[in-house]
Each structure stands twice: as structure tokens, then as C-alpha cells.
Amino acid sequence: MISEFHKQMIAEELKQFCNQYKNKEDAFNAVEGVSQQCLRKILDKNWKGVKEEVWLKIKGQIAFDVDEWQVVTTRDYKILSSILNDAQLYSSVFAIVGEAGTGKSVSLKAYVADNEYAYLLQCADHWNRKQFLVALLKELKLDWSGLTVNDMIHLAVDHLKQQKNPLILFDEADKLSDQSLYFFITLYNYLEDHCGLVMIATNHLKKRLQKGLHLNKKGYKEIYSRIGRKFIELNGVELKDVTAICIANGIEDRKVIREIWEGSENDLRRVKRMIHAKKMQQKSAA
């Protein structure tokens, strides 16, 4: 049976697969035996009711076999897990920044899969206030049909206050518009001491908030105050991480590992693709 974590991994790989095409329709047509409607549901993380054989069809046609891929506890993975655990236990608020491709999203998905009442929002730049709340209510598995924005806020808040140590993670928070960022303040005000809130993004979020503070933009002082006037910066990928990932996924030749490290540009997505390519080469040569 495919676990919820593996479904999240397949959905992420499907997203990367689609990015290789000019448009989603071309990408969907390349996945045989699965309807476009079903693929859209999976990309929207609305996969309830999707049968196991459909997941297997998709998994077999995109770049990687997630059952073979081993997630490794990297240095940043450990740091993130510790911060998220603290945020969930003590209803803390943090902002974490790190370069793209350092494994932030994989770490967040692994945490959410293993911890009850932890929710992950994959932020998008097109969200308005209502779309922000719809995404949150989807994660909470609540019905928002016919509700106003105000009703949606109170539904989410009341639901979270009934839970023990809930945590909301805002992945790629730098994509949020100012309008959506203000909702971070609203949630904090309603859920202070009841729910942990963590924004995770690239360094663009830090630069954006610093610029907003300098320009005295509305809401930016409040956001900065609520994250403790501090950004937690991840270390990024190091050779030790890439070595562990390579070994866990069947690449043990030190020369090949060094080649992958030097060609990775400190991007774990690239590491994954390079490992896949090396394994395909090994199979062809066998």
C-alpha cells in the first residue's frame, strides 16, 4: 500500500515532470492511462479517492521510483526537524530561509507525514485572501462551501483551537502576495499560544521583509515582530550530505560521488537526477 508520504513524493515528482513540458496539457498527455482530471487533483493535493493502481501508473512513468529513493537525514534536515518540533510543542513562530534545492520541502513533507496535527501549505503567488483560506481548509479537511472569508477564518481557527499542539507550515512563503502575508498576522493574532506557525522560504523572503521594513510598508513591522525579529538561516548542502544520499541510493564509488557533488551546484534536486542518470548508466553497462 502506498503511504501518505509516498503520495506526497509522487505528487512532487509529478510537478517536476510537468515542469519539463511547455504546458500541463502536454505533460498530462505524456502520462498514459491516467485522466487529466485525476492528474490535476493530485497536483492540487486533492487526491482522496484516487485508487492505488493510478498512483502506480503515475509512479512508473515519471522520472523516479520513489520506493527505491531513500530520504537521508542531512544536516539541514536535522535542524529543520528540531525547529518544527519546538514550534509544534510550544506554539512558537519562526521564519526559516535557505537556498533553493537544499531539501526544505522534502523535510517538511516528512515531518508532516510523521506528526499529527501538522499541516503544510504549498504557497502560490496567485493566491488572494480566499484562495489562501481555501488551501488551509483543504489541509484541515474542512468544508468551506458557501462560507464568506470571515466565516472561513473562524472555521479554521475554531478547528485548530480544538487540537493539541497544531502546527501550520508555510512552504515557499516568499511567493505570497502582501495581501496573503497579512493573513499570517491574522492567524497569529487568533492562534497565539494555541498553534505553531512557521514560514519557510528562500533568502528572497528575508530581503523582501527587510526592504519592506526600510520602506515602512504596511504590516511588515508586525510580521517581523511576530517571527521574533530574526530569520533562521539553514546551512545548505555539503559534501557529507551528498555522500550520504549517494550511498543510501546505491552509489558507493567515491569518484562518482565526487563527480555528483561537483556537478550538483549545491542543489539536491540535481543530485537526485544525477544519481538516477548514473544508475541508468550502470544498468545499461551491465
Non-local (6+) Cβ contacts of 269 within 8 A are 16, 101
> What value does the mean pLDDT of the chain take?
89
What residues contact 153, with CB distance under 8 A and at least 6 apart? Answer: 133, 186, 190
Q: What is the pLDDT of residues 191-215, one digit of tens each?
A: 999 999 999 999 999 999 999 999 9
The domain ranges of the chain are 4-61, 75-233, 239-285
Q: Which CATH architecture has domain 75-233?
A: 3-Layer(aba) Sandwich (3.40)
Q: HSE of 212 in the Cβ direction (CA atoms, 13 Å)?
A: 19
Instruction: Please give the average per-residue pLDDT across 164-177, as a whole number.
Output: 95
Q: Look at residue 189 in the predicted model and tell me its pLDDT.
A: 94
Residue type, 7: K
Please indicate whether residue 103 or residue 200 has the higher confidence score (pLDDT).
200
User: Secondary structure of the chain in the HEC alphabet?
Assistant: CCCHHHHHHHHHHHHHHHHCCCCHHHHHHCCCCCCHHHHHHHHCCCCCCCCHHHHHHHHHHCCCCCCCCCCCCCHHHHHHHHHHHHHHHHCCEEEEECCCCCCHHHHHHHHHHHCCCEEEEECCCCCCHHHHHHHHHHHCCCCCCCCCHHHHHHHHHHHHHCCCCCEEEEECHHHCCHHHHHHHHHHHHHHCCCCEEEEEECHHHHHHHHHHHHCCCCCHHHHHHHCCCCCEECCCCCHHHHHHHHHHCCCCCHHHHHHHHHHCCCCHHHHHHHHHHHHHHHHHHC
| Neighbour-count burial for 257-269, b at 16+ CB within 10 Å, e otherwise | beebbeebebbbb
- Whole-model pTM: value is 0.74
Instruction: Please check the confidence at residue 67 and state whether its pLDDT lies above 60.
Output: no
pLDDT digits (tens, 9 = 90+) for 130-140: 999 999 999 99
Report the DSSP pairing between strands 167-171 and 196-201: parallel
Percent pLDDT > 90 in the chain is 54
Residue 282 near residue 252 (C-beta atoms within 8 A) = no
* Average pLDDT of span 144-166: 95
Average pLDDT value for residue range 20-47: 87
Q: Return the HEC string of 100-118.
A: CCCCHHHHHHHHHHHCCCE
For residue 201, give the nearest of 136, 264, 108 by alpha carbon: 108
